[in-house]
């Protein structure tokens, strides 16, 4: 069954413009709780940073990300790639163009490789 799911699942393709236009790209997990409070009914995610792929923040530290309403499918036990823009002291998911839906991506070997290739070809 696992093989069937792998063969029939649609591959995830990163959108290059938001990746290239992001201030920060991290691999991380959305934390289920912060200070004993569930943070998800609110409009802010607390994201534990596991790796920084572009930009600067401390690895291992949580960051606050405005949770886009259109991103409804995520799990706290999975790692994602977050293309982000600064929003004051916090961050928001990068949109390009500005009226496009926000997207986060599952952190798989394929999406990480796509991200690295896109960043290596991006102008400085």
**Which pLDDT does position 123 carry in this prediction?**
58
Residue 89's CB: how many other CB atoms inside 10 A? 7
**CA 76, chain centre distance (Å):** 12
**Which pLDDT does position 72 carry in this prediction?**
79
Q: What is the residue range of 110's domain?
A: 13-120
Residue 39 included in any domain: yes
Per-residue burial over 92-107, b = 16 or more CB atoms within 10 Å of its CB, e = otherwise: bbbbbeeeeebbbbeb
**Which pLDDT does position 9 carry in this prediction?**
60
Q: What are 30-59's pLDDT values in tens digits?
A: 988 655 454 455 688 999 999 999 999 999
Output the domain CATH number for residue 81: 2.40.50.120
The residue ranges of the chain whose pLDDT is under 50 are 1-8, 36, 38-39
Whole-angstrom distance, CA of residue 110 vs CA of residue 10: 12
Whole-angstrom distance, CA of residue 20 vs CA of residue 122: 6
Among candidate residues 95, 67, 86, 68, the one with its CA nearest the CA of residue 23? 86
**Which pLDDT does position 7 carry in this prediction?**
43
Residue 28 included in any domain: yes
């Amino acid at each position: 069954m696992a093989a069937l799911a792998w063969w029939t699942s649609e591959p995830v393709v990163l959108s290059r413009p938001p990746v290239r236009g992001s201030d920060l790209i991290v691999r991380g997990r959305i934390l289920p709780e912060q200070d004993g409070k569930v943070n998800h009914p609110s409009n802010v995610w607390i994201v534990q940073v596991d790796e920084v792929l572009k930009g600067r923040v401390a690895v291992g530290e949580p960051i606050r990300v405005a949770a886009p309403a259109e991103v409804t499918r995520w799990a706290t036990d999975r790692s994602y790639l977050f293309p982000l823009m600064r929003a004051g002291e916090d961050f928001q998911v990068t949109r390009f163009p500005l009226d496009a839906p926000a997207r986060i991506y599952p952190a798989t070997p394929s999406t990480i490789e796509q991200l690295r290739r896109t960043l290596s070809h991006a102008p400085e």
